[in-house]
Chains A and B, each alone.
Chain A
Amino acid sequence: MPMEEKIGVYVCECGPNIADKVDIDKVVETISSLPSVNVVERHKLLCSEDGKKFLKESIQKNELTRIVVAACSPKQHEVTFMKVCESAGINPYFFQLTNIREQCAWIIDDKEEATERTIRYIRAAIRRVLYHKALEKKEIEANPDVLVIGGGIAGLSASLLLASGDRKVYLIEKTKVVGGKVREFAKLFPRMEPCSDIISQKIKEVENNKNIEVHTDSEVSEVLGFLGNFVAKVNTSENKAIEQPSKQAIKEKGLENKELELKVGAVVVATGFDMFDPKQLPQYGYGKYDNVYTALEFEKMNAEGKILLKSGKPPKQIAIIHCVGREKVGYCSRVCCMYSLKFANYIKSKLPNVKVSHLYTDLTVPGKTYQKFYEQTKEKDVEFIRAQDIEITESNGQLTINHKGTHNPKPLNADMVILSSAITPSSDAHKLAEMLNISQGDNGFFVEEHPKLAPVSTSMEGIFITGCAQGPKNISDSIVQAQAVAGKILSSIIPGKKLELEVKTSEISEALCIGCQTCLTVCSYGAIYFDEIKRVCVVNEVLCRGCGNCVGSCPSGAASSKHFTTTQLHQEVVEALR
């Protein structure tokens, strides 16, 4: 047991809150009689300005080395008193707060019992504080530059907000051009605004921003490191071209494969989405019948000009089928109803006399302006049928849609069918998940740090997700998430400012570790790595958030949490129960 410490114990009365329920005189008398304690004082309200001043002066006057405060919940005033310790010149971790208000005074009616319990708690805290170690705040340098993976609308939007004179952005795009799937869209729902102006404006801004380095035809092959200090490898064909959708010209420079090494402080995953492949559901006849189209195929056909059947003739009856693949993927993609309505508008503006029928299950039109779009579309003589168990057959070029509709379950004839497929995670999501050590949900989308309060963060500090990589959403919400990522990065990695690290991290004893790597599997933050040479696990203090998962799982007792060591907890409990 450590010796020669000068311990001060301070009992707060919290006005009548503790004083009325606990016999403070008896507490002070009992604690004063303990041989290890140097100073015992009581105060009416220790958290008041007067109380804090009293505490500071008493610590200094008595040259104390360990402090115990018996007062309220640590949630309320632990930080307050740690600050007092610091200002009195003592390491704030040489302090222990024991809660005699919520855990004694407020819950025990019998004064004698409450007093006895209070004394036990204080004794336990004294015992514990003797085993405390001085902990120091650490800081690291952070690189403000950002790697953005994916050059769709989310990646472009994030890059534009992030790039500045003192922050460079590397935008990595797998395909030949930036702009993503939105480039294919003629118009945006619900206002039917032309899309090309918007996307080409964004592309132009990115192109003109000298702080954004775009690499098309490029893929990230490795990301190592941690918040503020990542090193990424990028395979690129060094083709710096940006296609202008208006000009439809690609500036080729000659393709030459090359590996780039980029140093960044944060990584943004904006890899977008794929669409559910309707070939997986043969009842829709996609790939079998000529005039059954996917949504993206129809979007492209419309954007290129005319809506025509394979025969070259204009269609007379078009059926739009919602929710294709919804059951299979297990979620509603949020946007299919709306883009299906948009298709009806495309059709009605080009071919006003074509009969358009929607076959849907539930109309998902959330948000302030979407229902109106539905109503306006309906007014254009568009039919809406609630339908289930859809099956499409063909005879002599005529498509027939059989269904169990709820109102008029008659087979429906059409010469063209558009399948509104679900949004699915991008096909290479699993590769990125593995590379970045971020998790995917059971539906394949990347998992956010917290489903409500941290939608664009991941459990890996410094790695962010945005747009449809995080889950199916519309353009507006994708851009919001991209801007949100910028908000998170700009507010945490500031050029010239160091990052303050968690103090109460875990540590793994090299001598005790048997190299079983159990801790690696339970760490949510990727904060532990295996040292192949020494054959032991090592904690990266930059990433560790001190959750203690590794401590609980370690079979050899090698892992411990600073400030929550087994010895500290054991001594505290033993004394409390003595």
Chain B
Amino acid sequence: MKEKNGNVLIIGAGVAGMEASLLLANSDKKVYLVERTSYIGGNVIKFEKVFSNMECATCMLAPKQQELLANENIELLTLAEVIDVKGSAGDFTVKVRKKARYVDLQNCIGCSACFEPCPVSVKNEFEEGLSERKAIYVPCPGALPNVPAIDTENCVRFKGKDCQLCKEACMFEAIDFDQKDEELKLKVGAIIVATGFSTFDSKKTPHLGYGKLADVYTAFEFERMFASNGPTEGEIKLRNGETPKSAVIIHCVGREEKGYCSGVCCMYSLKFTHYLKEKLPEIKIAEFYSDLCIPGKSYQKFYEKTKTMGPEIIRFNEIEVVRTNGQLTVNYKPDPLTPKPQTLNTDMVILAPAIEPDGNANKLAEVVGIPQDEYGFFAEGHPEIDSVATQKEGIFIAGCVQGPKDIQDSVAQSEAAVGKILSLR
């Protein structure tokens, strides 16, 4: 019989992919960690703090990130995508397309001297477009690996101009325009898909005003606004630069459209009251929810604590956000129903959109050969008793790629996928 290949491919370097990589690497497995972006840490590194212990998320992840980058059993492939998977459990052949970073990972020390001279300025997608970045960039200060990448879609050199200002600014000869995109062929015995999630596009609920009304923000926009390494360095301010005196947080955005409850939005919405009150103790807050979903042993306590900070917590049946006389107004029908609809004026609205499958999920599902469920999440081997397995032996799923969940449950799933892999003998 053919010897089984012990190497493991992990797709996605978010909190789930990182945990799985570290466990497998510590058991002396060779791990290929393929990440589509230029950095590791996934969505969690966008958060300033995590509920319910309000721990700093970047500080929480930093030791894991450092450990991962230093681990010799883990080969991290950033700016990379899996484009083909052939074979079966114990013997997969995987093709990975790895885009050139144009900055040498060994030589670069992350001093950021190359940013300043770059003549290009575009919206920073990591910051939800709330700030600009250069064509050579790291998504935010503290991103790891602390090595910038050149965005060839915007870099003028890759549009034909003879610009090499960044190269001239680099003292370490780290910038290499001659790097080429590569296609790698990897041999692995097992695969974990941990590609995470996106959030529901709030523009699809036009009655909430997102995209039309200036101070209606999505949860991720607000996360970055609050982040100390974000576009405002943590200052909460309106588009006109003023400090808001009131804020409204709307839960369950897209729940009806998606047809499921994401299980985490109530909690992160309550976290936002903590954020607001920490920076602006006088701010008036209203949280609008439909069902308060705070499952588990410690979440209700967090809710009770949030209540003491003084937000109005209102159950709504119907809600809309409009602008009247230059002022944001929330019109709502509360539950229980009162004869008249109510209104509330506010300076700022934060929407808590549902979790949905990552934008590339369809493509990846096809490449890996795993069916998706009716919502687009990857389908489990058995939803109740084997939620990290798939219908394809040797391929596992962990974290929000399988369905919406919080960090704890994502980590548990990634450890579970490792358990399944290491028990195969």
Interface residue ranges, A against B (CB under 8 Å): 14-17, 45, 47-49, 75, 79, 157, 160-162, 164-165, 188, 191, 193, 198, 326, 330-334, 362-372, 386, 406-407, 441, 443, 445, 451-456, 471-473, 475-477, 479-488, 490-492, 494
Contact = CB atoms under 8 A, between A and B. Distances in A.
Contacts of B414: 484, 487
A45 B173 CA distance: 12
Given A472-B296, A484-B416, 10 more contacts: A16-B171, A162-B423, A164-B423, A363-B293, A366-B261, A367-B263, A368-B377, A368-B403, A488-B415, A491-B418
B297 interface: yes
Interface string B300-312: 1100000000000
A367 B411 CA distance: 16
B418 A490 contact: yes
B240 interface: no
A223 B181 CA distance: 56
A486 B292 contact: no
B384 A476 contact: yes
Interface string B6-49: 00000000010001000110111000000000000000000000
B109 A45 contact: yes
A17 B146 CA distance: 15
B81 to A, nearest CB: 25
A15 B111 contact: yes
B325 interface: no
Nearest to B396: A483
Nearest to A368: B403
A368 to B, nearest CB: 4
A455 B296 contact: no
A577 B405 CA distance: 51
24 contacts: A17-B109, A45-B172, A48-B106, A49-B106, A75-B62, A157-B385, A161-B420, A331-B299, A363-B291, A364-B291, A366-B261, A372-B260, A406-B335, A441-B297, A451-B408, A452-B55, A453-B60, A453-B411, A456-B412, A472-B297, A483-B417, A487-B23, A487-B420, A491-B23
A332 B403 contact: no
Contact of A362 (B24, B113, B291, B296): B291
B409 to A, nearest CB: 7
A332 B418 contact: no
A371 B290 CA distance: 13
Given A15-B172, A364-B291, A471 B407 contact: no
Interface centre among A16, A326, A332 (most CB of B within 10 A): A332
A477 B23 contact: no
A370 B300 contact: no
Nearest to A405: B336
Interface centre among B70, B291, B407 (most CB of A within 10 A): B291
A485 to B, nearest CB: 7
B412 A331 contact: no
Interface in B384-425: 384-388, 403-405, 407-409, 411-420, 422-423, 425
A488 to B, nearest CB: 6
A455 B297 CA distance: 13
Interface in B244-298: 255, 259-264, 291-298
A15 B60 contact: no
Contacts of A45: 109, 172
Given A365-B261, A371-B259, A479 B335 contact: no
B82 to A, nearest CB: 22
Interface centre among B261, B336, B417, B425 (most CB of A within 10 A): B261
Contact of A471 (B70, B297, B413): B297
A161 B386 contact: no
A79 B55 CA distance: 26
B237 interface: no
Contacts of A386: 335-336
Interface of B: 15, 19, 23-24, 26-28, 50, 52-53, 55, 60, 62, 64, 66, 70, 106-107, 109, 111, 113, 171-172, 255, 259-264, 291-301, 335-337, 373, 375, 377, 383-388, 403-405, 407-409, 411-420, 422-423, 425
B422 A452 contact: no
A482 B408 CA distance: 14
A451 B292 CA distance: 21
A364 B264 CA distance: 11
Given A406-B335, A472-B297, A484-B412, A367 B106 contact: no
A187 B300 CA distance: 29
Nearest to A75: B66
A472 to B, nearest CB: 6
A14 B411 contact: no
B385 to A, nearest CB: 6
Nearest to B22: A491
Contacts of B412: 455-456, 477, 480-481, 484
A17 B111 CA distance: 7
Contacts of A332: 294-296, 299-300
Contact of A441 (B107, B263, B298, B423): B298
A362 B70 contact: no
B27 A445 contact: no
Contacts of A16: 111, 113, 171
Contacts of A165: 425
B70 A79 contact: yes
B420 A483 contact: yes
Given A331-B297, A487-B418, A487-B422, A480 B388 contact: yes
A316 to B, nearest CB: 29
Nearest to B146: A76
B419 A15 contact: no
A169 to B, nearest CB: 11
A436 B298 CA distance: 23
Interface centre among B60, B297, B412 (most CB of A within 10 A): B297
B60 A334 contact: no
A15 B422 CA distance: 44
B385 A452 contact: no
B297 A14 contact: no
A456 B412 CA distance: 7
Given A368-B375, A407-B336, A491 B422 contact: yes
Chain A to chain B: the 8 pairs with minimum beta-carbon distance, closest first: A366-B263, A486-B419, A334-B295, A487-B419, A483-B416, A484-B415, A487-B418, A490-B422
Given A15-B111, A16-B171, A453-B64, A368 B404 contact: yes
A479 B387 contact: yes
B393 to A, nearest CB: 15
Contacts of A480: 387-388, 409, 412-413, 416
A479 B296 contact: no
Contacts of B66: 75
A331 B295 CA distance: 7
B180 to A, nearest CB: 23
A452 B407 contact: yes
A14 B298 contact: no
A188 B109 contact: no
